[in-house]
Amino acid sequence: MSGLIGKKLGMTQIFTDDGTAVGVTVLEVGPCPVVQVRTAERDGYAAVQLGFGRRRDTRARKPEAGHAARAGLDYVPQVLAEFEPQEDREYEPGEQLTVDMFEVGQRVKISGRTKGRGFQGVVKRHGFGGGRKSHGGSSTLRSPGSIGPGTDPSRVIKGRKMAGQMGNTVRTASNRRIERIDAEKNLLMIRGSVPGARDNIVLIRPARRGD
């Protein structure tokens, strides 16, 4: 299987066998039921649709409940995501996938939605240095300065770094190492940071060469 769905719980630190303190992000990963198996003959591509979490019955719509019931589930998953299947393995709807598919020391890549920062200026969004803070610079401390030539081409060039919406985008943290696995509690401890805030939904995939 090429991945699982999880939730970010927060950060802490653990100690390795030689006593080194390592900062880790704790993820609750799975168990993820197989909701649907897509095939190239029927759907045009091969994929495995997994679910994670449990939606309240009052929040579940009838089409969603019917889709989950066809996989033998008596609840509607909170999140659905598709992953590339392994070529040498067959999947059955209703099958539960857990963190046992990962190993300590394995490298993974984790995708999640970053924290939304709202509308921000160029100093915070792009790291601009700002204007002069000495004599006469009181009105240009955090301004972007000139944004384009006046005569030719007499317009602002596309891609110019300016103020705007910051954060709230999907980012992927690559080549993260699995430091510890707690199969009983469905926990993965990943070295380093992971995109998003606490309780953020993340997708965990094995890292390939070049990731």
Confidence label for 83 from pLDDT (cuts 50, 70 and 90): very high
Domains of the chain: 4-117+171-206 (2.40.30.10), 118-167 (no CATH)
Which amino acid is residue 202, in one-letter code? Answer: V
The b/e string for 35-60 (b: 16+ C-beta within 10 A; e otherwise) is bbbeeeeeeeeebbbbbbbebeeeeb
Confidence label for 211 from pLDDT (cuts 50, 70 and 90): low
Q: pTM for this structure?
A: 0.85
- Cα 120–Cα 109–Cα 177 angle in degrees, nearest 5: 110
Read off the pLDDT of residues 39-48 as tens digits, 9 standing for 90 and up: 999 999 999 9
Is residue 210 pLDDT above 70, yes or no? no
Q: Find out whether 203 and 110 touch, Cβ atoms under 8 Å.
A: yes
Going through the chain in order, the beta strands assigned E by DSSP cover: 4-15, 21-29, 32-38, 47-52, 79-83, 96-97, 107-113, 116-120, 164-167, 170-182, 187-191, 201-206
Q: Find out whether 110 and 206 touch, Cβ atoms under 8 Å.
A: no
Give CA–CA dist 113/204, Å, rounded.
13
Average pLDDT of the residues in 77-100? 89
Flag the least confident range among 51-60, 142-151, 159-168: 142-151
Tell me the β-bridge partners of 37.
Answer: 48
Instruction: Say what the pLDDT of residue 160 is.
Output: 92
Average pLDDT of the residues in 47-73? 92
Top pLDDT among 43 and 137 is at: 43
Is residue 137 pLDDT above 80, yes or no? no
Instruction: Say what the pLDDT of residue 55 is.
Output: 92
Average pLDDT of the residues in 19-33? 93
Instruction: Say what the pLDDT of residue 188 is.
Output: 95
Confidence label for 179 from pLDDT (cuts 50, 70 and 90): very high
Q: Is 162 helix (H, G, I), strand (E, B) or coil?
A: coil
